[in-house]
Amino acid sequence: MPVRTLNYTDRKRIRREDACITLYNEEGRHYFTAELELAGYRLPPTSYVYVEAYRQAQYMRFSFGQAGELVEPNDRFLSKFDSPDGVMFRVKVVQELPRKGLLIAQASQIRPKRHDKADDDRLSLLAVQPVDSLGDQIWRLDFNDEQVILLVNSKLGDKDALVKHPTFRCLVYPEVVRYVLITILKGDKYDDLDDTSNWRTLWLRFARNLGVMTAMPPVTDEARVDDWIEDVVDKFCRQHQLLSAYTDFWTGEGR
């Protein structure tokens, strides 16, 4: 499907609760459904509605008919993505008259829900992507404007088996939590707990909800920030019983 160039102007912001995306797995093929509640935005009924799936440079667009009569396309499979990890969505409403390709409403950075939550037991905020550019490195974190991506070496084979393995879970994930929080609090000096459109806020809420006893300190107090981060990592390890899991593996009981 050809992608039209859109003319950006003042436009309505569609709330994320009015654009709910759910992912499904059908024998290894992933597709989505979209629940769009657009009636309250007073959009021109002849404007066109598109749902876009994207992850870094990968991109797919799906036509959902017109605002006055939404029509879900039959083919909603994410065929251009090797996995749904890290795939995000946006909704665009485009008016063709009087100006062609005029973007009049949008919802962006929509994180899809999983129909089967058992499908993914990793950190819900962490996308995983295999890449062939890591050389002899096992993993590395990649940060962009919308999320954190755990890059894993594609030479290791099945990424799902890799990230679920006890050694990987126990040795890598605590360092992921530590490094992400260091980047947010000490690198970016970010401490907003209210802006849920920002991935940093979601990670800080995740950390806070682990049961840390002390409040998140000011980002200017680096010593207290360091202590708070270590407390978060400790709570993460306890919650997931990582020492017990690794001990079972190391002694052969979990093999």
pLDDT per position as a tens digit, 222-244: 999 999 999 999 999 999 999 99
Q: How far is CA 234 from CA 14, 187, 240, in A?
A: 39, 21, 10
Question: Distance between CA 213 and CA 150 in Å, rounded?
Answer: 28
Convert the pLDDT of each residue in 127-152 to its tens digit: 888 889 999 999 999 998 888 989 99
- The β-bridge partners of 31 are 24, 77
Mean pLDDT estimate for the chain = 88
Note the pLDDT tens digit of each residue in 174-192: 999 999 999 999 999 999 9
Higher per-residue confidence, 33 vs 84: 33
Instruction: Read off the tokens for 202.
Output: 């979601």
- DSSP letter at 77? B
